[in-house]
Amino acid sequence: MINDDIEMDHSNFSVDHIAHAVPNIEDAISQYKTVFGAKVSDIKIIEKQDIKIAMVSFANLKIELMEPLSDKSPIANYLRKNPKGGLHHYCLAVGDLNQAYGDQKEKKINILSEPTTGYHGRNLYFIHPSEVCGALIEVEEHEKE
Ligand code: CO
């Protein structure tokens, strides 16, 4: 039984955002606005990842909307299997990314790439979905205050 009164100790990782792959970002933005009155950022083109993105802001969660820029985008591949769109990955932030990367490498965790700098200037990497029951997980450095 879970006792909610007891303060649980927790991991060094905290949720940063959830990414929603969509076939049309303008439609997705208008749906989030209509259904939830959500605040949404401007659309950004990220050439390096072959996607365009926009961030939907909720009080305690950001949703990253991603639309592929071309057929070669990894998101295009995802949309071939999920044509209406779907939840693509979630992102956990950590204070010391290189430390987390080193620890997981040591544990032989299957990491998809070396840490690389994201469009927002923070370092990140992805963990292979086979490591945690099929979920693609992005690990990102905490936003500097
Ligand atoms: Co992400």
Each residue of 50-84: pLDDT tens digit?
999 999 999 999 999 999 999 999 899 999 999 99
Q: Are strands 51-58 and 61-68 parallel, antiparallel or unpaired?
A: antiparallel
CA separation for the pair 80, 119 (Å, rounded): 25
Burial call 125-140: b when 16+ CB within 10 Å, e when fewer: bbbeeebeeeebbbbb
In a domain, 119, yes or no: no
Q: Look up the pTM and report it.
A: 0.89
* Residue 24 structural domain: 14-107+127-141
Between the CA of 77 and the centroid of ligand 1 the distance, in Å, is 16
Between the CA of 81 and the centroid of ligand 1 the distance, in Å, is 19
Between the CA of 75 and the centroid of ligand 1 the distance, in Å, is 12
In a domain, 9, yes or no: no
In a domain, 120, yes or no: no
In a domain, 72, yes or no: yes
Tens of pLDDT, residue by residue, the chain (145 residues): 555 566 678 889 999 999 999 999 999 999 999 999 999 999 999 998 899 999 999 999 999 999 999 999 989 999 999 999 999 999 999 999 999 999 999 999 999 989 999 888 899 999 999 999 999 999 999 977 6
In a domain, 117, yes or no: no
Between the CA of 3 and the centroid of ligand 1 the distance, in Å, is 32
In a domain, 42, yes or no: yes
Q: What is the CATH number of the domain that holds 42?
A: 3.10.180.10
In a domain, 6, yes or no: no
In a domain, 122, yes or no: no
Q: How many domains does the chain have?
A: 1
| Res 48: pLDDT | 87
